[in-house]
Amino acid sequence: MNSTCQQTMEFQAEIKQLLDIVINSLYTDREIFLRELISNAADALEKLRYIKLSNDKIIDKDLPLEISIELDEEENKLTIFDTGIGMTREELVENLGTIAHSGSKAFLRHLAESGGKDINLIGQFGVGFYSAFMVAKKVVLVTRSYQPEAEGCRWVSEGTGSFTVSEEKELHRGTKITLYLKDDAKEFSKAENIKRIIKQYSSFVPFPIKVNGEKVNTIQAIWTKSKNEVTEEQYEEFYKYIANSYDKPLFRMHFTTDAPLSIKALLFVPNDNYERFGFGRMEPGVNLYCKKVLIQQQSEDILPQWLRFVRGVVDSDELPLNISRENMQDSALVSKIRRVITKRFVKFLNEQAQKEPEKYREFWEKFSMFIKEGAAADYTYRDELIKLLRFESSKTDPGKLTSLKEYVERMKDDQKAIYYINGPSRKAIESGPYLEVFRQKDIEVLYTQEAVDDYILSHLGEFEGKKLISADQENLELTDDLQKNKETQPEEKIKALSEWLKKTLGDKVSEVKVSKRLVDSPAVIISPGHTSISMERMMQLVNKDLNKISPKILEINPGHIIIKRLADLIESDEGLAKMAAEQIFDNALLSAGLVIDPRDMIHRMYQILEKALEK
């Protein structure tokens, strides 16, 4: 061998860390290394099959597309090779060692958080290759790219810090990986074990897998079969294969149609959503096929972005086999397929919500962020997506959820609108002043706990002909006034108090008026117009300027003892009355969840206390 071409390189830092963990692992599910290597081989073969459709200049054009595994018990060795696209020297160095994958970092974090238990998820983080070091003390990989000018090369590593790359002559196209097994991993040089593992994890690999020359998998495109021809176990195994996953899917939709297009789809909702734990944006997970030939892996185009959590396969006879990635994006046909499948899938979720409410609830807990993303941003499917939304409400038990449809069914005949209110928690919402009138009138209010909910509902405007109204907005149009507040004080006195309050609070209030919504609180603030208080809260978060609150409407409750006494106090001690008025206003801001500058308030509180303690 020409030693001048030999290079020793350091693994990228996070990969080093990852290898450290992998090498020292004593995990019981070490066998998943085989699934990872087979999945890489299958990927390389799929890519080659695709390139072959439009490219003639391929090395060893007639080599059969397959995966072979050779076992050597005596030498304690396992060799796996494929006739896929192979790698050039540059690709090799990049793919296996020097480039930091976002996945390696995320995986390290996940391992740390799960107490190191979940190493079998390694493939989902895009670093599956390194799982070879769970069972091997040394890995030798030789590869030759399909491109005619490419040279073969060899990659060797013991997984500790560095690897070497050198030239390798006279290779056929593809990749061959030899694992020198650890002494405690002898089981992986035995054919019966390897066959069992392949059956368990890799039955659906769409290329022949041979073990010591004997073909062991049955290649099945189960999505092209009818539902009654496929068993539960097959579905489950297929999911594990396609999602590179270890657990069972939450939902499965197997769907075939001939009109308006011929489409076969098998889609799964995974058991969990790692994006919600902050592991970065999920890659789309649906592969696009035409008559069982893979056209595009993890297609960006076949489902909308907000369905990126879905795993599975879409197969359409109508797709041209040699469609390019660029054409895919603006192909009218692809968007047609996307619309059909998306509509069908959202309908499927609505059906599941009816049929299996408990399971749907679990789905909602884990995946609602995607449904909300769609409802907020994608008008094409909005009407259907709205039906999937779930909220707690004043009529649900804590932790139980309801839909807009159920809300409407519970509405009383004279109730005109659907009400909702935002707050950080059920408790915060229920202890605030805005619900008082609704409680008194026995009107249900939905609790939205995320800003995006309010965004969606306010943009939607109405549902089934009923207006959607934020319960903290100015004009509520509730049927009649609250009995309790009426004629509690002479009208002139209230008028004088209101005017005095307006004068005293100055620019902070645009208007002071008698509230129709208060029962137990002395006062509440409202935003003029259609802005809800929750919108104000959001704006305050963005602005970060506490003094930048726009003028508010102060609604007072004339029946409340504090308001009554305040009216009298103006005569006897205007100084104290002013302080009380400021304090009432600040309390109302705090009840609204708005932030105030505490320094003024604390100072004022001391002054009030001083007065109170005088007596």
Instruction: Determine if 515 is a binding residue for ligand ADP (CB under 6 A).
Output: no
CB of 348 to ligand ADP, least distance (A): 28
How would you write 287-327 as a 3-class SS string? Answer: EEEECCEEEECCCCCCCCHHHCCCEEEEEECCCCCCCCHHH
Interacting stretch for Mg ion, rule CB under 5 A, among 37-45, 58-66, 498-506, 529-537?
37-45
Instruction: Determine if 40 is a binding residue for Mg ion (CB under 5 A).
Output: yes
Interacting stretch for Mg ion, rule CB under 5 A, among 6-14, 81-89, 122-130, 132-140?
122-130
Query: Can you spell out the DSSP letters for 143-193?
Result: EE-SSTTPPPEEEEE-SSSEEEEEE--SPPSEEEEEEEE-GGGGGGG-HHH
Residue 369 contacts residue 385 (beta carbons within 8 Å): no
Alpha-carbon gap, residue 14 to 23, rounded angstroms: 14
Instruction: Determine if 36 is a binding residue for ligand ADP (CB under 6 A).
Output: yes
Q: Of ligand ADP, Mg ion, none, which one sits near residue 95, judging by CB under 5 to 8 A according to partner kind?
A: ligand ADP
Beta bridge partners of 526: 553
User: Residues, the chain, total?
Assistant: 615
3-class secondary structure, 609:
helix
The one-letter code for the residue type at 233 is E
Residue 120 is encoded by which pair of tokens? Answer: 């079998």
Interacting stretch for ligand ADP, rule CB under 6 A, among 79-87, 383-391, 546-554, 585-593?
79-87
Residue 528 contacts residue 537 (beta carbons within 8 Å): no
Q: Which residues ranging from 193 to 222 are in contact with ligand ADP (CB under 6 A)? A: none
Q: Of Mg ion, ligand ADP, none, which one sits near residue 163, judging by CB under 5 to 8 A according to partner kind?
A: none
Strand blocks (E) in 51-135 = 67-72, 77-82
Give the closest residue to 497 by CA, choosing from 587, 582, 558. 558
Nearer Cβ to Mg ion, position 131 or 470? Answer: 131
Nearer Cβ to ligand ADP, position 135 or 570? Answer: 135
CB of 117 to ligand ADP, least distance (A): 20
Query: Could you say which of 127, 385, 512, 567 contacts ligand ADP (CB under 6 A)?
Result: 127
Residue 379 has, within 13 A of its CA and on its CB side, a CA count of 2
Instruction: Determine if 84 is a binding residue for ligand ADP (CB under 6 A).
Output: yes
Which residues, in sequence order, are CB contacts of 607 under 8 Å at separation 6+? 579
Q: Which residues ranging from 156 to 175 are in contact with ligand ADP (CB under 6 A)? A: 175
CB of 222 to ligand ADP, least distance (A): 23
Which residues, in sequence order, are CB contacts of 521 under 8 Å at separation 6+? 433, 436, 557, 560, 588, 591
Instruction: Determine if 131 is a binding residue for Mg ion (CB under 5 A).
Output: no
Pattern 240-279, binding to Mg ion, x per CB under 5 A?
----------------------------------------
DSSP 8-state symbol, 22: H
Other beta carbons within 10 angstroms of residue 163's beta carbon come to: 23
Instruction: Determine if 128 is a binding residue for Mg ion (CB under 5 A).
Output: yes
Instruction: Determine if 96 is a binding residue for ligand ADP (CB under 6 A).
Output: yes
Q: Which residue number is nearest to Mg ion in terms of Cβ?
A: 128
Interacting stretch for ligand ADP, rule CB under 6 A, among 39-47, 328-336, 362-370, 521-529?
39-47
Instruction: Determine if 95 is a binding residue for ligand ADP (CB under 6 A).
Output: yes
CB of 18 to ligand ADP, least distance (A): 10
CB of 221 to ligand ADP, least distance (A): 21
Query: Could you say which of 11, 129, 207, 434 contacts ligand ADP (CB under 6 A)?
Result: 129
Interacting stretch for Mg ion, rule CB under 5 A, among 128-136, 265-273, 274-282, 524-532?
128-136
Instruction: Determine if 285 is a binding residue for Mg ion (CB under 5 A).
Output: no
Buried b or exposed e, range 502-514, using 16+ CB within 10 angstroms: bebbeebbeebeb
Nearer Cβ to Mg ion, position 84 or 128? Answer: 128
CB of 39 to Mg ion, least distance (A): 5
Query: Could you say which of 19, 44, 59, 446 contacts ligand ADP (CB under 6 A)?
Result: 44
Q: In the block, which residue shows the tokens 């650890």?
A: 182
Instruction: Determine if 40 is a binding residue for ligand ADP (CB under 6 A).
Output: yes
Nearer Cβ to ligand ADP, position 167 or 474? Answer: 167
Which residues, in sequence order, are CB contacts of 354 under 8 Å at separation 6+? none
Residue 420 contacts residue 391 (beta carbons within 8 Å): yes
Binding site for ligand ADP (CB under 6 A): 36, 40-41, 44, 82, 84-87, 95-96, 126-129, 175
Binding site for Mg ion (CB under 5 A): 40, 128
